[in-house]
Chain A
């Protein structure tokens, strides 16, 4: 990876240095010479390392002749190849099947083992017994606990996958919730005009009420002014009347002289006596 980057950078930056074994000092990185004191900062040290790496890569260019991988390599298979007796791949049996049939590899194996034993290529020692017991224990252990261990491993993997899946699902769910809320908000804005209508109505009513109130006040004011005028008129009339009555009374009283008063009083007495007689007469009857 680094070699590709370096090579391409070198090719573009220094076309004349085709087979040169080293680059110019810091041509496309920071300028640092080799005489740098020991107490350098981390960044300067990193850049020095980069420069040295580039120089080495450039110098060894002629040794690297293989084609680099330009594409991602294919993924590894999930399960290994099938194996018989834990050691011998199934392809071997398939390989021998056309010529020797099913028993071919077994006969080959038996022959090899007997050959090794009889020619003492494999010597039976104490280790043989150790090997036999060990293999016996291993086979027993794998046969007995193998499936449960495999199930445990699968369970662990499944839990990891489930966790990731859960994360993904919860993220999707959150998005969905956000979308739904947004939609409901949009629907609410559609119905907002009801609110505005009600408010408008309220304001109109309030305005109407104020208007009527002021109208009434105006009416009252005007009425009171008119009442005042009427009262003034009435009072003037009354005063005039009283004045006239007083004047008439005064003149009448002035006009009545003293003899007229005596004459009137005597007549009244005579009338009264007559009336008394008239009243006594029906009573006797």
Chain B
């Protein structure tokens, strides 16, 4: 089935047509929207979770930052759902592709920077120099801070890609090991299976945490700039 270890990460095709767009749009069909105040349990729980994350995330922002709440809430929901769906067997996770993560990270980061530069030019430029630096170090430090600012989107994208990809790869590898061991030595298979279980639990946590981290960092950049 899988020629090498990286075939799960290649572009999925249906009859040689790329099927990435339906796969990316699929998690949206799982998030329920409803006009009724009282829904079934699934819709209630989803609504409640989204409300919880929204409150938690947007409490620290002022009115200007809170205009981003729809963007950030949909971001965290999308990343969490995509990551969790990627844990299913034979599925494709769009967030393992650096292209998609860069496409998410760069516009959001650039948006926060531009908002900061436009409305609070002095403040956002002042972030380039930490407080209390000795005078001879100032030019070097400005350069360093600029580089750390410019590296933020790349860091966001690569962090997400690397974490999810590494997790998926690890699960594949351990699954292969368990498969190979199932013919040779059955007790070791059980051990490997236990390891796989623990790893899957970790993956679930990682999926959620990565979503959270991504959104939190964007929100932090926003907070600095509004």
Contact = CB atoms under 8 A, between A and B. Distances in A.
A150 B40 CA distance: 10
Contacts of A149: 41, 45
B89 A127 contact: yes
B146 to A, nearest CB: 40
B137 interface: no
A189 to B, nearest CB: 45
A204 interface: no
B13 interface: no
A78 interface: yes
Interface size for chain B: under 10, 10 to 19, 20 to 34, or 35 or more residues? 20 to 34
Interface residues of A, number: 27
A161 interface: yes
Contacts of B173: 126
Contact of A137 (B40, B171, B174, B201): B201
B88 A153 contact: no
**What is the interface of chain A mostly: helix, strand, loop, or mixed?**
helix
Given A137-B197, A157-B44, A130 B175 contact: yes
A209 to B, nearest CB: 73
Contacts of B37: 160, 164
Given A78-B40, A130-B175, A136 B197 contact: yes
A152 interface: yes
Given A123-B1, A127-B90, A153 B175 contact: no
A125 B38 contact: no
Nearest to A123: B1
Contacts of A128: 89, 175, 179
Interface of A: 78-80, 123-134, 136-137, 149-150, 152-154, 156-157, 160-161, 164
Interface of B: 1-2, 37-42, 44-45, 48, 87-90, 171-176, 178-179, 192-193, 196-197, 200-201, 204
11 contacts: A78-B40, A123-B1, A126-B173, A126-B174, A127-B89, A128-B179, A130-B89, A130-B172, A131-B89, A137-B200, A152-B45
